[in-house]
Structure 1
Amino acid sequence: MYAYAFLEDFVLLYPVYAVLFADTGLSPAAISSLFVIWSVTTFALEVPSGVWADVFSRRSLLVVAPLLSGAGFGLWSLFPSYPVFAAGFVLWGAGSALRSGTMQALVYEELERVGAAGSYARLIGRSEAMSLVGVVAASALAAPVLAVGGYRALGAASVAVCVACAVAGWWLPESRGSGAEGGREASLGSVVRAGWAQVRGEPAVRWSLVLVMVVEGLASLDEYVPLLVRSTGVAAVSVPLLVLVVTVGDAVGGWLAGRGVRWLAPLLAVGAVLLAAGSLGERPGGMVLVGAAFGVFRWAIAAADARLQERIGDGARATVTSVAGLGAESVALLVFVGYAVGSRWAGAGVLVGAVAVPYVVVAVVLGLAGWRGRVHREM
């Protein structure tokens, strides 16, 4: 699982693909429109992929997912243009949808099978940390590879890593069967009904879903980190190194997942302040504060995800988790559209810093509800 997580994000194009789009001549609004295409694709396939994961082999879906993403990266590096970038995001979105919900369900059920479900938050958080270590490694390598071989070299390396990720996915453990009794159509129908019953009938599930949707959806802000770094005035070859600073902070947050959950509300507020302070200054040194903020947000996502997994049943686990992913994509879409519209009047520093406001709202709501008080009893 750690190997899969590392390879999934050890993609050398990650730190600079927004810069690739800009260097190709795309405006900030056009770049945001690509993110919208990506988000809409994931949105459309999110729940269907969750149902497939509850009916068929989850491991098989996790093998296919990185291959789709790799195909998109290959197209970007060979034929850089807006239509090809859009097609690549469709492929990447499809791969993201296949993984979303599927990995969480597979991990939780395998842990539950061996009596270790309590380790989920720590394991999934560290898995996210390994993903970010992959991003760190990719960020460190991207600059010299870009300097020597350009964007095509980055694309070729990214495709190779995606293939390796698919191989790692094949070795993930899966003890469940690849279908339910009663036939494929009956299985699909029963999974959908079971998932809907949990969301509709259990307030604890609904509350957990909303929390995951908002906290995870707002984290889509990380797509603009390269543009934020570029706005500080550094050269293009230095962008991956400053993106690396932010990614390290993000990874530390994932590694600390499962600890200090009772401080979720105040720490989210602190993260919001750090985000605003680091972004609005538009200085290279501010990326340290932005990295710390993303670390808080990563830790919070793992906490919210673990609480959701504790409250949903196995029969439709991937389906319900995909509903959370669907909501997160909706929030992400609002972030992308907001950035596109706001880019007509403001720069990256102001636009990124503005996202601190909804994080503060979430922190206030959690504080009023009582993360360890009333919320715990209701959930």
Structure 2
Amino acid sequence: MLFAEAGLSDAAISSLFVVWSVTGFVVELPAGLWADVFSRRLLLVAAPLLAGTGFGLWAFAPSYPAFAAGFVLWGAGSALRSGALQALVYEALERSDAAHTYARLIGRSEAVALLGVVAASAVASPVLAVGGYRALGVASVVACAGCAVAGWFLPDERAGRAEDEVSFARVLREGVAQVRRVPAVRGALVLVAVLTGVTSLDEYVPLLVRSTGVASVWVPVLVLVVMVGDAVGGWLSGRGVRRLAPVVGAGAVLLAAGSVHQSVWGVPLVAAAFGAFRWSVTAADARLQDRVGDGARATVTSLAGFGTEAVSVAVFGGYAVGSAWAGPGVLVAVAAVPFAVVAVVVWVADRRG
């Protein structure tokens, strides 16, 4: 909403998303290497601080250059977090013989995070009415600082290791070797990249809701409906993990049906679709973590993130180009096609396996 109210077109907004993804694309792999060589906790402290700085720029200097700079900072922060968090959590669970709970834990943490966004969104309107976007910006910066403090208290056995124990080159070689020599790792990596990358179309949910013709006051409420559906999918993660193909396929059907008619009654279907996708992304991530070795876990996970950003750039670029001929409803419905293809590929692979 901030970008649209600042006078940016759909194409300009999409270009900002491209900036966001390209930044993550560039920073992703170096961040994974750093997490495997040095301190994962340090990256999880720095990541929200970068994002908070970007949000502050948006609030106090609302313009295209400031929005772009904010997305650069946010993208860098997301890349620092990506790989490091999954590796830290999985290995901590593995040491406690609880690696089988990874999908449920990660999924529920994402669900709680989304519900936190829902709660923040619920109070955003009165805060916006009283203090404007600057008040929201200050609140966002404070929240990010709190995340950095929380990150400082996470365990990190890699911090303080001798530099000669491991090197960037050694970790990179090990990570690449795992992807090249182990088909199961390679397949899981591609699966994570495609599913997560295409799911980046959730950035267009506000535009999709607005295209239904509802009054502006109802747009945040309907966006919250989709976010709640997303959170429910995260909360259910870890259950029925062998049903990945049918869940992704069902999500594709729900997304197409809910968006193509551009009706307010389609929003619950879109919400259910994003719940299915959230569940599916977590299940795919668990597959990858189960198959990767500890020596380069964050690096391989970052390789998946690298692929995710490449797919996201294609999604944002495709939306920007397509917006010249079609509205959000049609464009989001078209995005259901990759999910349907993934469902078929996973179904065939699982039957052969």
Instruction: Give the TM-score normalised by the residue count of structure 2.
Output: 0.97
Alignment of 1:253-268 (within 5 A): 253-268=233-248
Which amino acid letter does the alignment assign opposite residue 130 of structure 1?
A: V
Of residues 112, 115, 125, the one that matches 1:130 is: 112
| Mapped contact 2:40–2:159 kept (Cα < 8 A) | no
Q: How far is the alpha carbon of 1:326 from its aligned partner? A: 0.5
SS at match of 1:346: coil
| Mapped contact 1:101–1:318 kept (Cα < 8 A) | yes
Q: How far is the alpha carbon of 1:349 from its aligned partner? A: 0.8
Alignment of 1:224-243 (within 5 A): 224-243=204-223
Task: Decide which moves more: 230-239 or 262-271.
Answer: 230-239
How many residues align? The count is: 353
Alignment of 1:237-252 (within 5 A): 237-252=217-232
Deviations 1:288-340 (A, max 9, x none): 11110000000000100001001111111000000000001111111000000
Relative to structure 1, is the Cα distance of residues 137 and 197 closer, same or farther in structure 2, using a 3 angstrom cutoff?
A: same
| Unmatched tracts of structure 2, length 5 or more | none
Deviations 1:260-282 (A, max 9, x none): 12222122111111111111121
Q: How far is the alpha carbon of 1:234 from its aligned partner? A: 2.7
Match of 2:24 in 1: 42
Task: Decide which moves more: 316-325 or 153-162.
Answer: 153-162
Match of 1:75 in 2: 57
Task: Decide which moves more: 151-160 or 305-314.
Answer: 151-160
Match of 2:95 in 1: 113
Q: How far is the alpha carbon of 1:127 from its aligned partner? A: 1.1
Match of 2:188 in 1: 208
Match of 1:146 in 2: 128
Identity within the alignment, %: 70
Task: Decide which moves more: 206-215 or 281-290.
Answer: 281-290
Match of 1:325 in 2: 305
Alignment of 1:176-215 (within 5 A): 176-182=158-164, 187-215=167-195
Task: Decide which moves more: 143-152 or 96-105.
Answer: 143-152
Q: Does 1:335 align with 2:315?
A: yes
SS at match of 1:258: coil
Relative to structure 1, is the Cα distance of residues 282 and 144 closer, same or farther in structure 2, using a 3 angstrom cutoff?
A: farther
Which amino acid letter does the alignment assign opposite residue 77 of structure 2?
A: G
Match of 1:5 in 2: none
Q: Aligned partners of 1:134 and 1:151: how far apart in 2?
A: 19
Q: How far is the alpha carbon of 1:258 from its aligned partner? A: 1.0
Match of 1:374 in 2: 352
Deviations 1:106-151 (A, max 9, x none): 0001111111111111111111111111121122122222233222
Q: Aligned partners of 1:134 and 1:294: how far apart in 2?
A: 17
Q: Aligned partners of 2:161 and 2:80: how far apart in 1?
A: 17
Which amino acid letter does the alignment assign opposite residue 341 of structure 2?
A: V
Which amino acid letter does the alignment assign opposite residue 62 of structure 1?
A: L
Relative to structure 1, is the Cα distance of residues 293 and 180 closer, same or farther in structure 2, using a 3 angstrom cutoff?
A: farther
Q: Aligned partners of 2:194 and 2:291: how far apart in 1?
A: 18
Match of 1:359 in 2: 339
Q: Aligned partners of 1:165 and 1:232: how far apart in 2?
A: 35
Match of 1:29 in 2: 11
Instruction: Give the TM-score normalised by the residue count of structure 1.
Output: 0.91
Q: Aligned partners of 2:256 and 2:170: how far apart in 1?
A: 46
| Unmatched tracts of structure 1, length 5 or more | 1-18
Alignment of 1:80-99 (within 5 A): 80-99=62-81
Cα-Cα RMSD: 1.3
Q: How far is the alpha carbon of 1:181 from its aligned partner? A: 4.8
Relative to structure 1, is the Cα distance of residues 177 and 286 closer, same or farther in structure 2, using a 3 angstrom cutoff?
A: same
Match of 1:3 in 2: none
Match of 1:350 in 2: 330
Which amino acid letter does the alignment assign opposite residue 241 of structure 2?
A: V
| Mapped contact 1:246–1:292 kept (Cα < 8 A) | yes
